[in-house]
Amino acid sequence: MNLSWFDFLKIQVVFFFTSAVLSLIIKSPETRLLNKFTLPAMLIMLVFKDLSEATAALQRLKKARQQGGGWVACIPTLLPSEITAFFRLDRAMWRGFYAWLSQKKTTRHPEGEAFGFLNKGSYSTVFAIILLALCTEIPFSALMIALIEADPAKRHLVHIILFALTAYSLIWLLGDRYLVNHSHHILSETDLYLKVGARSTGKIPRSAIVSCEYFTHDDAQRPREKLRYPANSIVVTPFDRPNLVISLHADAILEISHFQLNRTGLTKIFLFVDQPARLKLALDRDPA
C-alpha cells in the first residue's frame, strides 16, 4: 500500500460511517450482513496495512536501540509516525482547550517582526460556522434518529455515540482556536519562525531560503487540482489558500513540524499571511 496512514484512516472512517448510516436507513438482510462484517473487514485492512510497513517499523526500532533507548522506551517506534503524530496533536489540542478554559498565558515568542494570518483570513468565519453546526447537531440528530430507528435501546446508544463525537470535536475546535489565536510567524535577523497553533511550527534559517514569491491558483484548474501541492512541500495556513511560496535549498537543515510530524527534505513552503508584500519585502531584504 502506498497510502499514508492519514489517508488510510480517512478511508476507514468513511467506510465505517457509510455502513452505519446504511444499516440505520435501510432495513434489509443485506445491510444487516454488511453491519456484521464491517468491523472484521476494517481490522483485516488494518492488519494488512501494518504488515506492509513491518520492515520500516523494525528499522525504526533498531535505530532507536542503537541510540541507547531501552526496550520499553523504544516500543512506540513500532507505531507508524503518523499515528504517534496524531496522539501528539490530540494532546496539544487538549492543552489548548485547557488553556482556553483557564485563560492561561501563552509562552514567549522569539524576538523579531511579527506576521499574522487572522485579520484578512476566513478562519474566524469557518470557526463560527463549525461551532454553530456542532451546537445544532445534537438536537437535529436526536430528531432524525427518532424518525429512523424504532428501537429505544439502539436510539439511546446512537445518541451517546453522537454526543461523545460532538463533545470531542468541540474540544478540538476550541483548543485549535485558542492556539491559532495566540500564534503568528516571526522573522528575525537570522531565522523565519513559523507558528500556526499546534498544526505547524518550525524554524527556517534565512540562509536556507532561495526566494519568496507570490502564489496564486490558476482559475482554469479543477477544484481538486487546486488542492494538490508538490510532495516535498507543506501548506502552512489556518484555512485560507496560500498567497506566498518560499523556495528552499535542497540541502537546507530545517526544524519543521507539520501536524506534529517532523518533516525533512522540503523544498517549498506554501504560506498564507495577512500582508504578503511586507513579508516578501522583508525576506528579500539583506538582513545584514
pLDDT for 1 beyond 60:
no
- At residue 219 the predicted structure's pLDDT band, cuts being 50, 70 and 90, is low
- At residue 109 the predicted structure's pLDDT band, cuts being 50, 70 and 90, is confident
Give residue 261's domain range: 185-284
Question: Is position 180 within any domain?
Answer: no
Among 36, 63, 79, identify where a domain stops. 79
* Residue 135 burial by Cβ neighbours in a 10 Å radius (0-12, 13-18, 19+): exposed
Question: Is position 193 within any domain?
Answer: yes
Q: What is the pLDDT of residues 54-103, one digit of tens each?
A: 787 777 777 777 777 676 666 777 777 788 888 899 999 999 999 999 98
Question: Is position 31 within any domain?
Answer: yes
pLDDT for 110 beyond 60:
yes
Among 79, 95, 114, identify where a domain stops. 79
Distance of alpha carbon 216 from alpha carbon 239, whole angstroms:
15
* Mean pLDDT confidence for 210-235: 80
Domain count of the chain? Answer: 2
Among 79, 102, 135, identify where a domain stops. 79
* Mean pLDDT confidence for 6-31: 75
Question: Is position 123 within any domain?
Answer: no
Q: What is the pLDDT of residues 114-148, one digit of tens each?
A: 999 999 999 999 999 999 998 888 787 777 777 66
Question: Is position 155 within any domain?
Answer: no
Question: Is position 275 within any domain?
Answer: yes
Distance of alpha carbon 258 from alpha carbon 265, whole angstroms:
13
Answering whether pTM is above 0.75, one says: yes
Question: Percentage of the chain with pLDDT > 70?
Answer: 88
Distance of alpha carbon 207 from alpha carbon 210, whole angstroms:
8
Tell how strand 255-258 and strand 233-236 pair up. unpaired
Spatial contact of 208 and 249, defined as CB atoms under 8 Å apart: yes
Question: Is position 84 within any domain?
Answer: no
- At residue 287 the predicted structure's pLDDT band, cuts being 50, 70 and 90, is low
Distance of alpha carbon 175 from alpha carbon 159, whole angstroms:
24
Question: Is position 259 within any domain?
Answer: yes
